[in-house]
Amino acid sequence: MIRRFAESLRYSPDAFEQAAQAAVNQLPAEFREKLSNVALRIEEFATPDQLAAVNIQDRWHLTGLYEGVPLTEQSSWATGTLPPVISLFRQPLLLELRQTGVVFEELVRHVVIHEAGHHFGFSDEDMHALEDSVPD
């Protein structure tokens, strides 16, 4: 219990936000520019609506989510749409940290890049190539 409390303080929402922004800042310029209008949010868990949108039942199983229209599907004629959002879900990510022992910044970077890949309309293969292009 004390370990989880200490972990919660060490990996505060601010720490997640800083790590997520650092991941975006490490992307090649052409990707960074196209993410400038995408909001980054840190939430404790996904909402029931967010879980339902990706057909996930257990709130502990969703670590990140892109909500928006991918660039490949956007139209210059579209109006009244909300800006895209990348959400990171802190509690499931903390659980994954405990279970895997992966480095905090690497896990956050992985999830941010994966969700950013949805913004670009990338395949899983393209997302891996983008992640590989980011320095450790």
Residue 136 scores a pLDDT above 90: no
Q: pLDDT for 74-102, tens place per residue?
A: 766 656 677 899 999 999 999 999 999 99
Residue 13 scores a pLDDT above 90: yes
The pLDDT score that the predictor gives to residue 2 is 54
For residues 68 and 3, which has the higher predicted lDDT (pLDDT)? 68
The pLDDT score that the predictor gives to residue 1 is 57
Residue 29 neighbours by CB under 8 Å, 6+ apart: none
135, containing H or E segment: none
Alpha helices in 58-121 (DSSP H): 90-100, 104-120
The pLDDT score that the predictor gives to residue 79 is 60
Q: pLDDT for 27-67, tens place per residue?
A: 989 889 999 889 999 999 999 999 999 999 999 999 999 99
Helix axes 90-100, 2-10, angle to 10 degrees: 120
Q: Is the dihedral of CA 47, 7, 133, 20 positive or negative?
A: positive
Ordered domains of the chain (ranges, CATH): 8-69+84-132 (3.30.2010.20)
Helix axes 104-120, 90-100, angle to 10 degrees: 130
The pLDDT score that the predictor gives to residue 74 is 72
Residue 26 scores a pLDDT above 80: yes
The pLDDT score that the predictor gives to residue 134 is 74
